[in-house]
Structure 1
């Protein structure tokens, strides 16, 4: 397919993804009230635990409706995640052979629950993060949290976990497709840990160490889990190819490695 064809197909997939998110946002509009109550619950729990005034503040005339629109779009991204992840798969699908297409089905099947699992994990961690952060409010002071700021915090917190939980899926997919060997991932584990903490520091919108650690540690754990899966696959594939008289995945043969 020429470059123009790829760009046309990319535009088509982006438009379809946007339409899916829009449809999810329309559905999310009708679930705004229970979702807002869930978002507000950590604030109320923090206020009750400290016996202090901690509340979400709508600081403008149009802030309330703006909040509802943004929450609806946020819900649209989560609800339509199977759809836009499928569009990502459909874009790369024409360039794959039959075996690679089967493996990308596995990628799609794993990416969706992993993204949602990351978002769910963030939702579980959110009350603790809010409690710790509000504890820095001095005694006797009132903490009126801007609604827009709080929503941005929650959105980045949830999406950061969702994207981070996709990391092992991408790693395993690249290993299964033969693009990157497990030993390459293993050599870069120090950089992976550093980048995990850097990613966590950037994606968590507050400067507290706790939120960063809560995101970085699961990412590191998933990295090493994907590394283990890739190592098992590479060893199994090497044994199969050697038994068939073929070179290993990286092009080496047993005699070549033994002589080296």
Structure 2
């Protein structure tokens, strides 16, 4: 009965005491951690398949035929790399690292929902709509950038191995290789979030679409330099394959910002929304009105100092 009464007394606008906020935060953190633990345990049974999924394209690009049962062997005249694991505990710690990282990624829809459910009650209706749109667009953009990183890594590996001394044995520590792959995926994924960040700043009123349109020369140059550094392949196709989509996303973000600026101008002309407070204009329109208001609100002068029953005429 006490729990049901507490639920009924909950504020419809999402307001609650600090203790209730902390209790809700604790419950959602526990749920998120439980989901990560479950997905980590599941990923632990497939961690070898996960490692092969990321390393096989790289080793195939450098002319290696790799399997976990035998070492990499050279199948062509090009330089060949061999994956190694150093230390007795290295395979175990690597399995834990890969399983935990996979668990966090696989459980991301659940713990992102828990984060959204904790923040959403304090947002306005329009803010909720925009937040869902940003989250819905951000996740596919990150996956797109991760795919481009996965696609460009084999080309990068083949270029890097060309600097090896002829006849030398190239050994790739598996933990270092996986860390490089993860860094590339994160960098490429975040780079594809740049247009979304610009749109968020525009919706927040920080920058305008006109200013974003004026940055197009510098943005194209910066994106091109980033693509050249992130993809150290000698062919321009790999660089343009990364820079081209970010160019398109930047101009799409600029177009969205320009449309939003026009929509904001129309909305300001119509007045505030239903769930927003209007701004009070305390500035009088005419100086004469100020004098009239001040004169009408002035206390009457006391005509005499005689008191009737202990009171003067003002009282």
Give the TM-score of the pair, scaled to structure 1.
0.72
Residues in 1 aligned to 2:206 and 2:117: alpha-carbon distance in whole angstroms: 19
Q: Indicate if the aligned counterparts of 1:17 and 1:84 stay in contact, CA closer than 8 A.
A: yes
Paired with 1:191 and 1:4, the residues of 2 have a C-alpha distance of 47
Q: State whether residues 74 and 155 of structure 1, in contact with CA within 8 Å, keep that contact through their aligned partners in structure 2.
A: no
Deviation at 1:12, TM superposition (A): 6.0
Unaligned runs of 5+ in 1: 247-260
Q: Which residue of 2 aligns with 1:96?
A: 123
The CA distance in 1 between the partners of 2:91 and 2:141, in whole Å, is 32
| Contact residue 61 and residue 157 of structure 2 kept, 8 A | no
Aligned-CA RMSD value: 3.9
Cα distance in 1 for partners of 2:217, 2:189 equals: 23
Displacement of 1:147: 1.3
Instruction: Answer whether contact 1:78 1:116 (CA < 8 A) is retained.
Output: no
Mapping 1:22-41, distance limit 5 Å = 22-41=37-56
Cα offset for 1:31?
2.1
Q: How far is 1:16 from its partner? A: 4.7
Which residue is 2:143 aligned to? 116
2:59 is aligned with 1:43: yes
In the TM superposition, residue 91 of structure 1 has moved relative to its aligned partner by 4.3
Q: Partner residue of 2:86?
A: 59
Q: How far apart are 1:108 and its partner, in Å?
A: 2.1
CA distance 1:50–1:12, change in 2 (3 Å): farther
Q: 1:182 to 1:3 in 2, by over 3 A?
A: farther
CA shift, 1:97, in A, is 0.5
Residues 35-57 of structure 1: CA distance to partner in whole angstroms, max 9, x if unpaired?
A: 22222211243134653330111
Pairing 1:223–2:250 present: yes
Alignment of 1:170-185 (within 5 A): 170-178=197-205, 180-185=207-212
Within 5 A, what are the aligned runs for 1:86-235?
A: 86-178=113-205, 180-186=207-213, 208=232, 218-219=245-246, 221-235=248-262
- For the pair shown, the structure with the greater C-alpha radius of gyration is 2
Q: Larger RCO: Structure 1 or Structure 2 (Cα < 8 Å, ≥ 6 residues apart)?
A: 1
Mark the CA change 1:209 to 1:45 in structure 2 (over 3 Å): closer, same or farther: closer
**1:40 touches 1:56 (CA, 8 Å); kept in 2?**
no
| TM-score of the two chains, using structure 2 as the length reference | 0.61
Q: Residues 76 and 195 of structure 1: is their aligned pair in 2 closer, same or farther, counting only changes over 3 Å?
A: farther
Gaps of 5+ in 2: 1-14, 65-75, 273-315
Equivalent residue for 2:306?
none
Higher helix proportion (structure 1 or 2): 1
Give the superposition deviation at 1:152.
0.8
